[in-house]
Amino acid sequence: MSNGISLKELAAELKLAPSTVSRALNDSYEISEATKKKVINMAEKLNYQPNPFARSLRENKSKTIAVIIPERINNFFAQVMDGIEEIAHEHGYHLLVYSTHEDVEKEKKIVSLLQNKRADAIVMSVSSQTSDVSHLEKLYQRDLPIIFFDRVCSDIPTTKFITNDYESAYEGTKHLIQQGCQKIAFLMLAKELSITKERYRGYLDALKEAGMQPEPTFSLHCCRSDEENIQLITELLKSENRPDGILSSVEKLALATYHAVKKTKLSIPDDLKIITFSNMSSAGLLSPSLSTITQPALTIGQECAKLLIKKLTKPRHNELKDQVIVIPSKLTIRESTMAR
């Protein structure tokens, strides 16, 4: 018996129908607990090993979860994928990873591709260009389980995982104020994104609470080009009415700020204090070390996968509720914001 037996042979040994044995092994609610126990014990005794490929064909399932992200070269998305992959592999699923490169047309093509059931479920963070969500609504109507994270689509009635962007931006701005900053700038990429709106709202409310008026030039809209961003930030820092503090909504703009500071006579943190939303592990190695608001990326990925696995393995018992689940970020203070 060292090579194992087939499902039919296991069923014959138990004197049960193969379909009953299969349902028992899959923990079906249609089978009694006594029968499940009997089947599992015999399966272990006779070294029964299920054929995952044959099972996938029978169930018309790919055992695949598609992950759609805006970009691969981003510590946050990389860690989310690690979390999803960890849980998915434990349950025999593998990942198909697609990057939209912040292009809504690419996003539409990917979504169209997935409508043919190439994957059993989808985990997604929308692109910065996504405003019309009709392509996502069509996908949802196909009854393909889908979960959103970070950059969510509020129009689709499913589960969304986010972090506390408003509170984190508020606390980050408040920290800069406590360190003596009087003129605080907010650096952003896509202002239409839900996460940008929440972070900007937290920034504004912290200023308002401190009796500060936001300067229009301090709300800096940047782009995807690092060179252009460095130039924009350099111009801001060289202006007569320059900021003495910066809250960066994404880590790439914080790094651009470090480069921009080198083009001036300013120094961090003496002349400019900076804090950023970031998941890069090297923040503490920068000179000076960078204060960060770290999103719980790995946990978000794990929780997305756990919920989808429950849905995929027991679809009748696990609906994807229309809900927003918030997992808090962590504020880490380092040299870039410390008053001397």
CATH of residue 41's domain is: 1.10.260.40
Residue 55 domain flag: no
Whole-model pTM: value is: 0.78
Specify whether 277 is located in the same domain as 312.
Answer: no
pLDDT of residue 4: 63
Predicted local distance difference test score (pLDDT) of residue 55: 53
Looking at every residue in the chain, the average pLDDT score rounds to 89
Q: In this model, does residue 58 exceed pLDDT 60?
A: no
Q: Mean pLDDT check: name the lowest of 135-149, 242-256, 267-281, 283-297.
A: 135-149
pLDDT band at 236; cut points 50, 70, 90: very high
Q: Is residue 56 part of a domain?
A: no
The whole-number pLDDT of residue 1 equals: 37
Residues in the chain: 340
Residue 333 pLDDT > 60, yes or no?
Answer: yes
- Average of pLDDT values for 189-208? 93
Residues 216-231: tens digit of each pLDDT: 999 999 988 899 999 9
d(CA 88, CA 305): 6
Instruction: Specify the CATH number for the domain of residue 200.
Output: 3.40.50.2300
Instruction: Tell me: pLDDT of 7 over 90.
Output: no
Q: What is the pLDDT of residue 2?
A: 42
Instruction: Specify whether 133 is located in the same domain as 232.
Output: no
Classify residue 88 as exposed, middle or buried by CB count within 10 Å of its CB (0-12, 13-18, 19+).
Answer: buried
In a domain, 123, yes or no: yes
Which comes out higher in pLDDT, residue 192 or 258? Answer: 258
Q: Provide the pLDDT for residue 269.
A: 96
| Residue that wins the pLDDT comparison between 324 and 4 | 324
pLDDT of residue 210: 96
Looking at the chain, the whole-number percentage of residues with pLDDT higher than 70 is 94
Looking at the structure, tell me whether residues 28 and 106 fall in a common domain.
no
Is residue 2 situated within a structural domain?
no
**Res 129 pLDDT > 90:** no
Residues 90-115 pLDDT 10s: 988 999 999 999 888 999 999 988 88
Structure tokens at 142: 């196909």
- The verdict on 183 and 264 lying in the same domain is yes
* Residues 75 and 89 placed together within one structural domain of the fold: yes
> pLDDT at position 298, please?
96
Reported as a pLDDT band with limits 50, 70 and 90, residue 61 is: low
| Residue 268: pLDDT band with limits 50, 70, 90 | very high
What would the DSSP string read from start to end of 239-277?
STT--SEEEESSHHHHHHHHHHHHTSS--TTTT-EEEEE
Pick the residue with more confidence: 268 or 130?
A: 268
Strand order in the sheet with 146-149: 94-99, 64-69, 121-124, 146-149, 160-162, 324-326
Q: At 137, give phi and psi (nearest 5°).
A: -65, -40
pLDDT above 90 coverage of the chain, percent: 60
Q: Distance between CA 85 and CA 306 in Å, rounded? A: 11
Looking at the structure, do residues 94 and 140 belong to the same domain, yes or no? yes
Residue, of 54 and 245, whose pLDDT is higher: 245
**In this predicted structure, what is the pLDDT of residue 138?**
86
pLDDT band of 140, cuts 50, 70, 90: confident
- Region 54-59: what's the mean pLDDT? 49
Same domain, 287 and 176: yes
Looking at the structure of the chain, the number of domains it has is 3
pLDDT in the model for residue 301: 97
Q: Are residues 230 and 119 in the same domain?
A: no
Those residues with Cβ within 8 angstroms of residue 339's Cβ, 6 or more apart along the chain or in another chain: 179, 180, 269, 273
Domain that holds residue 223: 165-295+331-337
Judged by DSSP in three states, 123 sits in strand
- Amino acid letter for position 238: K
Tell me the C-alpha distance between 323 and 272, whole Å.
Answer: 40
What is the CB neighbour count within 10 angstroms for residue 313? 14
- Which has the closest alpha carbon to 268: 283, 258, 278, 277? 258
Distance CA(165)–CA(201), nearest Å, equals: 9
Find the mean pLDDT for residues 112-141.
Answer: 86
- Bridge partners (DSSP) of residue 64 are 94
> Are 125 and 172 found together in one domain?
no
Question: From residue 106, how far is each of 70, 75, 88 by CA, in Å?
Answer: 10, 22, 25
Is 31 in the same domain as 83? no
Cβ neighbourhood burial of 6 (10 Å; 0-12, 13-18, 19+): middle
Q: Are residues 130 and 221 in the same domain?
A: no
Least confident of 2-6, 178-182, 266-270: 2-6
Residues 6 or more apart whose Cβ sits within 8 Å of residue 114: 66, 122, 139, 144
